[in-house]
Amino acid sequence: MIDYDVCGARLSRMELGALRQLLTVQPDGTVRARDGMEMKPGDLEASGMSPREVHELMRKLKANPVPDLKVEPSSAAAPEEFEERFAAAAPKADQSDVE
């Protein structure tokens, strides 16, 4: 879940197309950068991406730290606490309406 939902990103057709212009897959499965090729934001816009789409692609490609989602069991709340909180949050039925 962390790798896909939290730290992963979906790419649009145009974002994937831009990456395909920069990278090539060799017959042996090696991914290689095309020799000396670079794409600036203006190049991406010229290929049909809007400024917003360019910004989103740049955001997706920036390295982000993996969040530490480890839970310390000793600091967890007791099940009874959740039971009380859920009971307090649930709407109460008016007994006169039940009949």
The pLDDT, as a whole number, for residue 29 is 95
CB 7 within 8 A of CB 66: yes
Instruction: Give the count of beta carbons closer than 10 Å to the beta carbon of residue 1.
Output: 8
Work out whether the CA dihedral 69, 73, 74, 77 comes out positive or negative.
positive
pLDDT band at 5; cut points 50, 70, 90: confident
Tens-digit pLDDT profile for residues 24-52: 999 999 999 999 899 999 999 999 999 99
Tell me which of 10-14, 62-66, 82-86, 90-94 is least confident.
90-94
At residue 4 the predicted structure's pLDDT band, cuts being 50, 70 and 90, is confident
24's enclosing H/E stretch is strand 23-25
Beta strands (DSSP E) in the chain are 23-25, 31-33
Instruction: Calculate the dihedral angle through the C-alpha atoms of 88, 91, 97, 99, rounding to the nearest 10 degrees.
Output: -70
Say if residues 35 and 24 touch (Cβ distance below 8 Å).
Answer: no
